[in-house]
Structure 1
Amino acid sequence: MRGAAMSLTAAASGLVVFLLSVSVVQGQRGWGVTYSSTEICAVKGSTVEINCSYTYPSRWRGGVNTVENTFWFIKQKDVETVYVTTDSEYAGRVETLCGNNTCTLRIRNLTESDSAQYWFRFKTNQDAYSGLPVTLSITDLQVKVSRPQSDLNLRCLSSCPPGHTSYIWFKNGQKVKEDTSPDADFSYDSADSYSCALKGYEDSPTPSVYAPKLPSVSVSPSAEIEEGSSVNLTCSSDANPAANYTWYKKDEDSPKASGQNFTITDFRAEHSGNLFL
């Protein structure tokens, strides 16, 4: 219905962000709609509130002018009007909080397909009026990691328009940096872990990225190996992003294999010895 190297996907849910910024007003002859923001970027799985207030003349076309209905809608392909509160794709996730010339649209459990332009419209007994659209962008937050020399370079990837958000960085669970740039440099230490979040979503950072822990190797079959048989070696290590593996034989410089699994299909006496990663 709607259009919505190493990385990790953020897990964000249940967070409500109240957006306060310079008001944007559209109106004439007493009619108007004021938004707290016309550009909103929110994290997938979270909750967002789009706030507006509206004005209208007390009398219009020779009669008393009173509000009868309020609506939030999007447009599909600039033609079809989709009313958010009644559309099946929003069922159970949307509510409006309206009264005293204000109306807030709340959307929970955001998905990437919720990215759209949202219009507010109100109807009186004499006329109707629509505000300018509010652009809502839903991002699936990710962390990209690179380590040039002794420094660790991290990038907090999002689809938010540039300049519409700040990035918060955490080191070992503690906030260490805030910047409008998505890039951050840290001194490398294999014991440290890092995560990022969007400003306003500090309680829902990405999963931490960290260097590989001490690896372990399993051998199959685990019993005594006969010549001519196959042997499977599997290495595993706790790492985020996932580690890369290279197999070596002790006292030899050239690698025997790469990847988490190493299979010797025709085991012979010369294969005996210590392998390491």
Structure 2
Amino acid sequence: MRGAAMSLTAASGGFVVLLLTVSVVQGQDGWGVTYTSTKICAFKGSTVDIHCTYTYPPRIKGHNTTVERTFWFTKVQNKEPVDLRTDSDYTGRVQYHCAENSCTLIITDLRESDSAVYKFRFITNQDGGCFIGSPGVTVSVSDLQVQVRRSSEQVELRCHSSCNVADHPSYVWYLNGQKMEEERFSLRVSVNDHNRYSCAVKGHEDHCSPPVYPPKLPSVSVSPSGQIVEGSSVTLTCSTDANPAAKYTWYKENDHKYHSQGPQLVFSSIQSSDSGQYYCAAENNLGMRTSQYIFIGVKYAPVLPSVSVSPSGQIVEGSSVNLTCSSDANPAAKYTWYKENEDSPKASGQIFTITDFRAEHSGNYYCEAQNERGRQNSTLHLTVGTSSPLLGNSAGMMNIIRLTLVVLMLIPLLLLILWTRRKKTPLSSTTEPNDYEETVEMDSPPVYEDVSDLKAVTAAETEDTEEQEDVV
């Protein structure tokens, strides 16, 4: 077996890294295959050349040996190796350059799925004259990457590859596709720097790493689209373009706690309380962006309506009464008023007014709240309040008010008359010294025909009283 060596070789349209060069894998009796390299590391998108030479006995039992077929393979089906030229995974990317006792496999536009062990096989005209070169060539396809490490408000970018292209490689950096002047192993950028950064190995600038960048403005969608009905299943989805891939968090407006993590927020049975504005946040080590609001309006049937009467308390016959109905619903409910045992509605709208309430208006009234999702109703009982004949209607009430005013006007006059007559009547002088009772005699009150006579007399007495007070 020949010696091993490390080398870096260029191939048409790309480059490969040969980690180990090993010579012959020699078979017995002159059969054998020698691979130039047993391990190859290549960058994604590049081209790799795998070369081998092979030997076989020129004559066996008096018959000359000729090679009838040569090919490379990675798979075996039904115990038979599959020629790479017929493998659908390599269609249009495989070429053989074979000459006498040598053959080169060329694979272009390498993919990570091309990482495999490649073996060469040749078939001769001799009985049993087939040979497979083992252990073959191990190809590893590496994707050059920018590693992102975040600390506080700064981010460190490092160019990385599993292919060791050199002991101290130089790296070229690109900002939004434009080559930067400095050549260095790493870069430091600020968080939420919205630029795109990529790198390449110096000398192989045709094979850049995928760019890294913070999330772009996320978009949100709702499924199913259209009307959202209470009790149905609803899914909100958040998506954005970012590298490294973004992580997602869902929030509801005016709610400081997150509702869900992941690109989807799922309501298995959505309720009216879930209505509101939602948004998502997309974040990676390079920064964070939040989406615009998406409004979720849940449609639901009216809840049990509440009914009220105004004014409250007893209903006076002849007064005006307002009945009010309200219910929570989406879309907004429409209201209809009915009286028990009557088929036709009494009114529509939230407020039903009875302007001149009478005894025949007494009874049960109910309000029906209805929208496209359903209906609900509530009942209210109305009756005229019981009272005396004087209080039974508004005319009686006015009589009470008038009588009260007259009494209030007469009370001061009566008190003044009593006080004046008391001053005119002298105390009795026949009272014995030992008597403890004091007797005051007063004339019987005069009788007047009507209130006008009383007012005239009272006025005259008032004038006499004022004249006497002036004399005093």
The TM-score, its normalising length taken from structure 2, stands at 0.37
Match of 2:70 in 1: 70
Q: CA deviation at 1:200?
A: 7.7
Q: What's the secondary structure of 1:89's corresponding residue?
A: helix
Match of 2:13 in 1: 15
Q: Does 1:261 align with 2:270?
A: no
Contact 1:141-1:157 at 8 Å conserved across structures = yes
The correspondence of residues 187-206 of structure 1 with structure 2, limited to 5 A, is 188=189, 194-197=197-200, 201-206=204-209
Deviations 1:161-204 (A, max 9, x none): xx654565213425725xxxxxx444558799753346885311
Match of 2:96 in 1: 96
> C-alpha separation between the residues in 2 aligned to 1:201 and 1:240?
23
Match of 2:84 in 1: 84
Structure 2 residues without counterparts, runs of 5 or longer: 1-11, 218-240, 248-278, 282-289, 296-472
Q: Does 1:176 align with 2:183?
A: yes
Q: Does 1:143 align with 2:142?
A: no
Number of aligned positions between the proteins: 215
Contact 2:47-2:110 at 8 Å conserved across structures = yes
- 2:172 maps to a residue whose letter is F
Q: What's the secondary structure of 2:21's corresponding residue?
A: coil
Q: Does 1:134 align with 2:137?
A: yes
> C-alpha separation between the residues in 1 aligned to 2:42 and 2:203?
9
- 1:16 maps to a residue whose letter is G
> C-alpha separation between the residues in 1 aligned to 2:76 and 2:64?
35
Q: What's the secondary structure of 1:113's corresponding residue?
A: helix
> C-alpha separation between the residues in 2 aligned to 1:50 and 1:78?
26
Q: Say if 1:37 and 1:264 are closer, same or farther in 2 by CA, change over 3 A.
A: closer
Which is strand-richer, 1 or 2?
1
> C-alpha separation between the residues in 2 aligned to 1:152 and 1:146?
6
> C-alpha separation between the residues in 1 aligned to 2:160 and 2:16?
22
Q: CA deviation at 1:129?
A: 1.8
- 2:15 maps to a residue whose letter is V
Match of 1:251 in 2: none
Q: What's the secondary structure of 1:85's corresponding residue?
A: helix
> C-alpha separation between the residues in 1 aligned to 2:199 and 2:172?
6
The correspondence of residues 178-257 of structure 1 with structure 2, limited to 5 A, is 184-186=185-187, 188=189, 194-197=197-200, 201-209=204-212
Deviations 1:133-164 (A, max 9, x none): 21222334432211446975334455x4xx65
**Deviation larger for 39-48 or 192-201:** 192-201
Match of 2:156 in 1: 153
Q: Say if 1:66 and 1:81 are closer, same or farther in 2 by CA, change over 3 A.
A: closer
Which is helix-richer, 1 or 2?
2
Match of 2:107 in 1: 107
Q: Say if 1:264 and 1:56 are closer, same or farther in 2 by CA, change over 3 A.
A: closer
Contact 2:17-2:41 at 8 Å conserved across structures = no
> C-alpha separation between the residues in 2 aligned to 1:59 and 1:87?
34
> C-alpha separation between the residues in 2 aligned to 1:136 and 1:185?
28
Structure 1 residues without counterparts, runs of 5 or longer: 1-13, 178-183, 216-237, 245-256, 266-277
Q: CA deviation at 1:96?
A: 0.6
Q: Taking CA–CA contacts closer than 8 Å with sequence separation of 6 or more, which of the two structures ends up with the larger relative contact order?
A: 1
Match of 1:57 in 2: 57
> C-alpha separation between the residues in 2 aligned to 1:194 and 1:156?
10
> C-alpha separation between the residues in 2 aligned to 1:169 and 1:199?
5
The TM-score, its normalising length taken from structure 1, stands at 0.57
Q: What's the secondary structure of 1:26's corresponding residue?
A: strand
Q: CA deviation at 1:240?
A: 6.8
Contact 1:142-1:156 at 8 Å conserved across structures = yes
Q: What's the secondary structure of 2:37's corresponding residue?
A: coil
- 2:66 maps to a residue whose letter is T
